Amino acid sequence: MAKSNSSIHVLECDTSSLSSISNLPSQITKALGSDAKLDYLLNNAATNSVPDQLSLNIDPEALLKEVGVNVIGPAKVVETLQGFLKKGSLIMNMSSGLGSAGLTISDIGSKCTVYSISKHALNMLTVHQSFNLKEQGVL
Amino acid sequence: MDPGWVKTRMGGDGAILEPHESISGMLDTIHKAQKNGETAKYYTVSAVSSILICQGTDNVSAQRKRDPVVSVASRGRSQAESGAEEPVLNDGSRDTRCCNLSDTGVDGQQVRSDIPTHQLILASLLT
């Protein structure tokens, strides 16, 4: 797609790697210029690495890794790209029904606990990002 | 954004929504949110005909009897408690719901429907 359309740029980033994320601004500047505005930032990358673990058999390493990818990843991507986020820019963090305590209680039940915890944390991150980027006019 | 239970590798067995259904619902929602200046909200793309959230509370069952289409999509408990207006969705099998992110907590309330028209048309074909 990028080959047939010069306005499409594919920039690779491993959102589980802070060093990879830190390379994004220079890549974007190269592709779109230093005053580029990101109209939409969609944080989609995530992992559900240990779906079988429930609350009584959580592997600490697995939970930390899950939070690293699913929460710290989107947090650092937004932080790193803050300079490209301007009035009207919109951030969408891809959550899950499993991230909702309400839905888990009423409908889903206990499923994919580690993933569920990380997505619930992502929801809270979203609230904080909304507050912290309000002055910038970011949605 | 909760994309709904989508037929992807992560979705696994039993997933309900086709990828294009979920994606079009999300794109509609994003554009609408941007237009309306909405922030810090939680959206769910859902299939009314799904069994994903059928195993709900008594309130959900009660709502099902009143309106079999709306019932599964709405979170009966929240709506009953908040007194929010019932979403009108008589011919849909899919909608995008929106609520404040606080609703994803244990004490969630307030649900309002957020249903793009063309989704309803597609939905009626699927019902």
Domain range holding A111? 37-132
d(CA A67, CA A91): 19
pLDDT in tens, B78-99: 333 333 333 333 333 445 555 5
Segments making up each domain of chain B, as ranges: 19-126
pTM > 0.95: no
Task: Write the residue in A88, A101, A106 that is nearest to B57 by C-beta.
Answer: A106
| Interface membership of A11 toward B (CB under 8 Å) | no
Q: Is residue A21 in a domain?
A: no
Q: How confident is the model at residue A58 (pLDDT cuts 50, 70, 90)?
A: very high
Per-residue pLDDT, averaged over B1-27, amounts to 87
pLDDT in tens, B30-42: 998 899 998 988 8
Contact A127 B1 (CB under 8 A): no
Q: Is residue A65 in a domain?
A: yes
Check if the beta carbon of residue A125 is closer than 8 Å to that of residue A71.
yes
Average pLDDT value for chain B = 54
Contact A107 B52 (CB under 8 A): yes
| CATH number for the domain harbouring residue A103 | 3.40.50.720
Q: What are the residues whose beta carbons fall under 8 Å from the beta carbon of B55, sequence distance 6 or more?
A: A107, A109
| Interface membership of A99 toward B (CB under 8 Å) | yes
Q: How confident is the model at residue A2 (pLDDT cuts 50, 70, 90)?
A: confident
Least-confidence region, from A53-57, A86-90, B115-119: B115-119
- The structural domain count of chain A equals 1
A48 vs A102, which has greater pLDDT? A48
Per-residue pLDDT, averaged over A111-134, amounts to 96
Check if the beta carbon of residue A38 is closer than 8 Å to that of residue A81.
yes
Cα of A92 vs its chain's centroid, Å: 8
Residues of B with Cβ-Cβ distance to A109 under 8 angstroms: 55
Q: Is residue A26 in a domain?
A: no
pLDDT in tens, A15-31: 999 999 999 999 999 99
Q: Is residue A86 in a domain?
A: yes
d(CA A94, CA B4): 11
Q: Which residue type sits at B87?
A: P
Q: Is residue A80 in a domain?
A: yes
State the Cα angle at A69 between A66 and A71, rounded to 5°. Answer: 90
Contact B40 A92 (CB under 8 A): no
Q: What is the ipTM of this complex?
A: 0.88
Interface of A with B in 32-91 (CB under 8 A): 40, 48, 88, 90
Q: Is residue A12 in a domain?
A: no
pLDDT at A55 over 50: yes
Q: Is residue A23 in a domain?
A: no
